[in-house]
Amino acid sequence: MSCSVILKLPVRICAPMAVVFGLAAGPALSAPAHKAASTATPALDAAALAVRADLKSVGATRFTAPDYKPGTVRHMVMFTFRPGTTPAQRAEVTRRFVALASLSRRPDGKPVVSSIETGAQSSGENSDLGLEQGYLVTFQSEGDRNFYVGRPIVTDVNCFDPAHDTFKTFAGPYLANVVVFDFSPEAAATP
pLDDT at residue 12, rounded to an integer: 37
Q: Does residue 10 lie within any of the structural domains?
A: no
pLDDT at residue 42, rounded to an integer: 75
On the question of a cis peptide bond just before residue 152, with omega within 30 degrees of 0, the verdict is yes
Give, for all 191 residues of the chain, the pLDDT tens digit: 333 333 333 333 333 444 445 443 333 435 555 544 455 667 899 999 999 999 999 999 999 999 999 999 999 999 999 999 999 999 999 999 999 999 999 999 999 999 999 999 999 999 999 999 999 999 999 999 999 999 999 999 999 999 999 999 999 999 999 999 999 999 888 89
Q: Which CATH number do you get for residue 178?
A: 3.30.70.100
Total domain count, the chain: 1
pLDDT at residue 83, rounded to an integer: 97
- Is residue 147 within 8 A of residue 61, CB to CB? The reply is no
Q: What values do phi and psi take at 56, rounded to 5?
A: -65, -35
- 33: three-class secondary structure by DSSP: coil
Q: Does residue 79 lie within any of the structural domains?
A: yes
pLDDT at residue 38, rounded to an integer: 52
Q: Does residue 9 lie within any of the structural domains?
A: no
Q: Does residue 27 lie within any of the structural domains?
A: yes
**Half-sphere exposure for 153 (CA within 13 Å, toward CB):** 28
Q: Does residue 90 lie within any of the structural domains?
A: yes
Q: Does residue 52 lie within any of the structural domains?
A: yes
Could you say which DSSP state residue 157 is in?
G
- Show the domain range for 173: 15-121+129-183
Using alpha carbons, select from 136, 132, 128 the residue that is nearest to residue 97.
136
Q: Does residue 66 lie within any of the structural domains?
A: yes
pLDDT at residue 188, rounded to an integer: 83
